[in-house]
Amino acid sequence: MKKAGTRISDRSSRIIGRKIFRYVKITSTQDKAKRFAQKGLPEGTAIIAEIQTQGKGRLGRKWVSPQGGIWLSVILRPEITPLETPKMTMIGGLAVARAIAGLFRLEVKLKWPNDVLIRTITGSEFKKICGVLTEAVSGGGRVNYVITGMGINVNNRIPPALRDQAISLREATGRNLSRLKLLRKVLEEFDKCYWDFKSQGMGPILKECKGMSAVLDKEVKIECADGIIEGKALDIDEYGALIVETEEGRKRVVAGDVMLLSKM
């Protein structure tokens, strides 16, 4: 590995990961990526860190980011409106899901809106291996740039308080893994998904995400801006919103935290 802040070029990627900046310790790769995007660094620039001291989840939540994981943010400049931002989360989540499913014999699922889950060794449950965070900076009804961040638990330790819901790839496979190999694969898959999105829209990506969904056809309870919504998850629309059949009729939920009431 090169020293902090050095640029590594990765010729295998077309857009995503064409420039990669690596840091040993940083507050958050999201914040660094935002500063780089403001300075005009190109789409596809990736920032990775060994350790994040202030890793971020959604809604001001903390993302535990010790040594051993992949903490990655990518600058994107898609031609979208702010309402379409969740599409980038879907693309990021699918890239990680594909990379993990492609490299390891693990069953992977996407939990709307931003989690990647894997089946645990005991086989009885799924736990969070990755969280995706998309932040957009917009103006005049258009998105100027988007930062899509992915936190993947690879060889890092999961704190006891999170062990019920979170897992690392080391724990799931029983061995230490090459983060570089996984990072390359994630960037490669991200690149493919992003090109598909640019050339064909969300169609193929949405179809694949739905096929891997942990929530569709399940009874769910969602904590969202409007309060608690309970019902059956019917569909994910092309804006990334979840369509839920409730007792009061169909509802469209753009963001929230899902609890599954029926088994995966």
- Binding residues vs ligand BT5 (CB under 6 A): 28-30, 52, 55-59, 61, 63-65, 71-73, 114, 128, 131-133, 149-151, 153, 162, 166
Tell me which residue of 152, 139, 211, 197 sits closest to 16, measured CA to CA. Answer: 197
Residue 120 or 204: which CB sits closer to ligand BT5? Answer: 120
At 246, list the tokens.
């409730």
Tell me which residue of 17, 28, 24 sits closest to 2, measured CA to CA. Answer: 24
Report the distance separating Cα 107 and Cα 88, nearest Å. Answer: 23
To which H or E segment does residue 135 belong?
Answer: strand 126-139
Find the shortest distance in angstroms from Cβ 46 to ligand BT5: 11
Find the shortest distance in angstroms from Cβ 158 to ligand BT5: 6
DSSP secondary structure string, 4-46? Answer: TT-EE--TT-SSTTSSEEEEEEES-HHHHHHHHHHTTPPTT-E
Q: Which residue is nearest to ligand BT5 (CB)?
A: 131
Find the shortest distance in angstroms from Cβ 119 to ligand BT5: 15
Q: Is residue 85 within 8 Å of 204, Cβ to Cβ?
A: no
The two beta strands, 115-119 and 249-253, are unpaired
The 3-state secondary structure of 162-198, one letter per residue: HCCCECCHHHHHCCCCCHHHHHHHHHHHHHHHHHHHH
Find the shortest distance in angstroms from Cβ 48 to ligand BT5: 8
Q: For residue 3, give the amino acid letter.
A: K
Residue 154 or 229: which CB sits closer to ligand BT5? Answer: 154
Residue 93 or 231: which CB sits closer to ligand BT5? Answer: 93
Report the distance separating Cα 186 and Cα 191, nearest Å. Answer: 8
Residue 154 or 206: which CB sits closer to ligand BT5? Answer: 154
Residue 56 or 251: which CB sits closer to ligand BT5? Answer: 56
Find the shortest distance in angstroms from Cβ 177 to ligand BT5: 16
Find the shortest distance in angstroms from Cβ 40 to ligand BT5: 21
Find the shortest distance in angstroms from Cβ 45 to ligand BT5: 14
Residue 184 or 204: which CB sits closer to ligand BT5? Answer: 184
Tokens 């010729």 sit on residue: 11
Query: For the chain, first and last CA: distance in Å?
Result: 39
At 56, list the tokens.
């971020």
Residue 29 or 45: which CB sits closer to ligand BT5? Answer: 29
